[in-house]
Copies of this chain bind each other. A is one copy, B any other.
């Protein structure tokens, strides 16, 4: 996909976004017309409740304020499916107009950020969209995350166990999420946009696709207290941009 942008990707080495002076100097230097803001605290096992979520709310608000002052045309931020109210035990599919009620500090931090950015950008005339990522997997992820927690042991001839095989999730490969984010930047869609495949798969089925016939996979169906049984994206808004991420079952089935 070619969108015709000159892309600048500040890394932690050349700009600490948690330092307002460094952030402002970077924006002054780059003078971006479009911003895709992905940076956040996402350390596996920590980010749901990490106090650093507050630092990233603050950093994001200050970044957006300075970008607006510099006349940025469009800003795309990254949120999460954890912003939704998943407590109702309903069909487990969420559209962007559905109710939000995050039950984690991470989800609340993301939702608050989206709300406040909307209040900033709308009157300033800055085009603004907010990506709500469903569940991702891909190269370089923490070995304790779902896909590598199955793939690595099996590849090494060791056993692997899925404890909550009945949970249904909408997982997509990080590369597909990246393409969806790029498409969002290049479009003029506004407001929240789910990024998922629209297809739910049970963790049991996903693990089976990862195993691809290799021995050593044990699937349990333990109850997962406090976890929604199904979390699936309605991807009507994303599809309207011409983007249709493949579900994890298809990706895993073609690469394992």
- Which chain A residues have a beta carbon within 8 Å of chain B's beta carbons? 20, 49, 51, 53-55, 57-59, 61-62, 64-65, 68, 105, 108-109, 112, 115-116, 119-120, 123-124
Contacts and interface: CB of A to CB of B under 8 A. Distances in A.
Nearest to A111: B112
Given A105-B119, A116-B112, A119-B105, A55 B61 contact: yes
5 contacts: A49-B123, A54-B62, A54-B120, A57-B57, A58-B61
A58 B116 CA distance: 11
A59 B57 CA distance: 11
Contacts of A49: 119, 123
B62 A58 contact: yes
A55 B51 contact: no
Contacts of A108: 115-116, 119
Contacts of A61: 54-55, 57-58
A70 to B, nearest CB: 13
